[in-house]
Amino acid sequence: MSKMLLTYSYFLGLRTLTVIRDAEKMIQKQSPDFSMDRISYEDSAVFEMLNRGETQGVFQMESAGMTQAFVNLRGRSVEDIIAIISLYRPGPMESIPTYIANRHHPEGVKYKTPQLEHILNVTNGCIVYQEQVMQICRDLAGFSYGQADLVRRAMSKKKHEVMEQERQHFIFGNKEPGKECPGCLANGIPREIAEEIYDEMLSFASYAFNKAHAAAYAVVAYQTAYLKCHYPKEFMAALLTSVLDNTTKIIEYTGECHRMGIGLLAPDINESELGFTVQQGKIRFGLLALKNVGRSLIEAVLQERNAGGKYKNLYNFCKRTHGMEMNRRALESMIKSGAFDCIEAKRRAMMEALENILKSVEADAKKNLAGQLDLFAAFSQESEEETFEDYRIPDCTEYPPEVLLQQEKEVSGLYLSGHPLDRYRDSIAQMRATPISMLNAEDAHEYDNQEVMLFCTIVKMKTMNTRSGATMAFLTVEDLSGTIEVLVFSGVLQRFGEWVKENAVAVIKGRFSFRENEGGKVVAEEVFDMDQYIKQEGKLAGNNSPKNKLWLKLPSMKSEIFDDVRNLLSIFQGDMPVYFYFEDTGKKGCAPRAMWCVPNEILYSELERVLGKGNVIVQ
């Protein structure tokens, strides 16, 4: 392309670009001069946020593995984001530990041959980009630009015959007219070293990014991180709007809003817009996120509100929106979500009065159509509120709180006015609970066959008979971070069946099972009523003095391992005391409060991987 004087451009069509644009528009309502074109790409606060592991919603960096890699790297530039995005792929990811170690200890970097140093010194001695494969072929073996690109394409497309042919040219050279190259041997590189270099390129290049691709992704990643860091409400509102059709993601991102201290306002027929918006320093739920309510209907409702003012009561709403594809299912969804709470007192009263209101509105419409209205009435000064006296909604007892929550969940996918797990938040933070969001992440396969413990509500339950005639159950469960499917086999169902029922608040212990084509599921081994479980464990909700402590044995406070441990603890920050024992000095003591953690099986597993199983003790 360079010979043809053409410029290589890489275009990304991403949902995330819409998120950035929508967030920018919301920010400009308060700060008209704001523009994404003028943000700094060297903002230390952004990298501090990423190094704390706060990557939820950040493009390409949400998975636990990617987050941990960046935290361990202690990234400080967009170049670091480019590198991690390129490395966190099958094949190249094997180089991540080496890349990070070399970054922190550049004096220990070793090159297979001195000719590699000027190519790989910018990436801490590791092959990271396809362009480096091409440069190695050119500088070490004398390949032309075209020949080097042929090697890259053969590797990326796994053309084994071509790869082996080019291996010979890479090592021994090529004397074929028009394709001449000296090869590594002629340039003073031993055959064994040349073989090792080619093998390393081979294992890397089949999954590698070109740097233009990675850089395009990294810029978008940084922009989302910048918005989350400096304009969190606008960013999270735009992010939620982008996943209106994905209940799992909405649950995950609203959970992140709660962690960030951002409140979520329920739907409001007089305040909500199509998507999520920022109001009163909080995020207002978008009407389009409600089930059974279409875009064209919501747009018409908003247009009428803008033209005729706020809706005064349910009858006023029904009368003004008659003929807008409004139907009973849509109205019931809005009532159940709480969208009319601002103009009517009780949802149960609205549900019971709805049929009469709709009949009255329909009757009025027919009279108008037939031209049977009293002409004098058209000029009457009688106010609309007086006309509504016949349609005053009767008072009645409101639904119980648990019914209100279930109805909200039914029509929005979320509990809006509260959550069945709200009163257990402290206990969940103190105990060894596994967040469901981690089991839904991109790198969930890494947790296959690990023990998990879910603090959750059972949203749906389906039973079936096995071939042997036994009964098993399929559950959809939800915690404060997401939803997942749980399998309860017949033996477990017989033992714990009294707790396995819809809307139950339960603790489920089991193992995570991941299959490439099916995603992740939890296979239950034990199920408990949450209140009883917490009481038995001696950890009542709200108790901020957990009895368990985490003891970690390390070689030295000055060791590299200590940095890895500190980074892990920062991701799982919580209320569980952490104690260190350092072998070199024999000293032990409690870590600073900022290093305490949330009890979590994933954390324990990662710590055992770093320190060894016998060096991680919970007691």
The closest of 267, 252, 276 to 19, measured between CA atoms, is: 276
Distances (CA, A) of 513 to 89, 221, 493, 518: 22, 30, 18, 10
| 233 touches 49 (CB < 8 A) | no
What per-residue confidence (pLDDT) applies to 465? 92
Strand partners of residue 50: none
Which residue type does 130 have? Q
Give the pLDDT band (50/70/90) at residue 558: confident
25 and 141 co-located in one domain: yes
> Is pLDDT above 90 for 350?
yes
Q: Which DSSP category does 275 fall into?
A: S
In a domain, 231, yes or no: no
Q: What is the DSSP string of 403-450?
A: HHHHHHHHHHSS-SS--TTGGGHHHHHHTTPPPHHHHTSTTGGGGTT-
| 347 touches 407 (CB < 8 A) | yes
395 and 450 co-located in one domain: no
| 397 touches 348 (CB < 8 A) | yes
428 and 491 co-located in one domain: yes
Q: Tell me the backbone φ, ψ of residue 512, rounded to 5 degrees.
A: -85, 135
In a domain, 242, yes or no: no
Tell me the torsion sign for CA atoms 60, 62, 68, 71. positive
In a domain, 390, yes or no: yes
The closest of 480, 471, 472 to 524, measured between CA atoms, is: 472
The closest of 397, 58, 511, 22 to 241, measured between CA atoms, is: 22
In a domain, 494, yes or no: yes
| 90 touches 207 (CB < 8 A) | yes
Q: Tell me the percentage of the chain whose pLDDT exceeds 70.
A: 92
334 and 353 co-located in one domain: yes
What per-residue confidence (pLDDT) applies to 82? 96
Strand partners of residue 487: 474, 523
The closest of 432, 401, 62, 66 to 252, measured between CA atoms, is: 62
> Is pLDDT above 70 for 9?
no
**CATH classification at residue 465:** 2.40.50.140
**What count of other Cβ atoms lies within 10 Å of the Cβ of residue 262?**
18
User: Which stretch, 9-18, 151-160, 524-533, has highest mean pLDDT?
Assistant: 524-533
Cβ-Cβ contacts under 8 Å for 26 (sequence gap 6 or more): 234, 237, 238, 277, 278
What distance in Å separates the CA atoms of residue 171 and residue 220, rounded to the nearest whole number? 40
- Please indicate whether residue 390 or residue 145 has the higher confidence score (pLDDT): 145
What distance in Å separates the CA atoms of residue 374 and residue 62, rounded to the nearest whole number? 64
- Please indicate whether residue 450 or residue 224 has the higher confidence score (pLDDT): 224
**What count of other Cβ atoms lies within 10 Å of the Cβ of residue 83?**
28
Tell me the torsion sign for CA atoms 450, 453, 458, 459. negative
Could you say which of 412, 442, 470 is where a domain stops? 412
Could you say which of 212, 233, 251 is where a domain stops? 212
101 and 200 co-located in one domain: yes
428 and 401 co-located in one domain: no
User: Which stretch, 264-278, 354-368, 448-462, has highest mean pLDDT?
Assistant: 264-278
Cβ-Cβ contacts under 8 Å for 127 (sequence gap 6 or more): 92, 95, 120, 133, 136, 200, 201, 204, 208
Tally of domains in the chain: 4
- Please indicate whether residue 332 or residue 535 has the higher confidence score (pLDDT): 332
336 and 189 co-located in one domain: no
What distance in Å separates the CA atoms of residue 100 and residue 124, rounded to the nearest whole number? 8
385 and 434 co-located in one domain: no
333 and 457 co-located in one domain: no
What per-residue confidence (pLDDT) applies to 545? 47
Could you say which of 378, 412, 446 is where a domain stops? 412
Please name the helix (run of DSSP H) or strand (run of DSSP E) that holds residue 87, with its range, or none: helix 78-87
166 and 28 co-located in one domain: yes
Structure token pair of residue 474:
């399929």
Average pLDDT over residues 250-258: 88
What distance in Å separates the CA atoms of residue 99 and residue 442, rounded to the nearest whole number? 22
Distances (CA, A) of 213 to 130, 154, 218, 351: 10, 19, 9, 54
| 478 touches 457 (CB < 8 A) | yes
pLDDT digits (tens, 9 = 90+) for 378-421: 444 444 444 444 567 888 999 998 899 989 999 998 888 888 88
40 and 185 co-located in one domain: yes
In a domain, 417, yes or no: no
pLDDT digits (tens, 9 = 90+) for 106-117: 998 999 999 999
> Is pLDDT above 90 for 142?
yes
What distance in Å separates the CA atoms of residue 93 and residue 103, rounded to the nearest whole number? 15
Grouping H, G, I as helix, E, B as strand and the rest as coil, residue 452 is strand
Range of the domain at 560: 550-618
Q: Which DSSP category does 592 fall into?
A: P
In a domain, 43, yes or no: yes
pLDDT digits (tens, 9 = 90+) for 56-79: 999 999 988 888 889 889 999 999
In a domain, 154, yes or no: yes
What per-residue confidence (pLDDT) applies to 585? 77
- Please indicate whether residue 567 or residue 196 has the higher confidence score (pLDDT): 196
> Is pLDDT above 80 for 594?
no
338 and 269 co-located in one domain: yes
Average pLDDT over residues 503-532: 91
What distance in Å separates the CA atoms of residue 69 and residue 585, rounded to the nearest whole number? 30
- Please indicate whether residue 493 or residue 582 has the higher confidence score (pLDDT): 493
Structure token pair of residue 93:
């990811």
User: Which stretch, 388-402, 489-503, 524-538, has highest mean pLDDT?
Assistant: 489-503
In a domain, 187, yes or no: yes
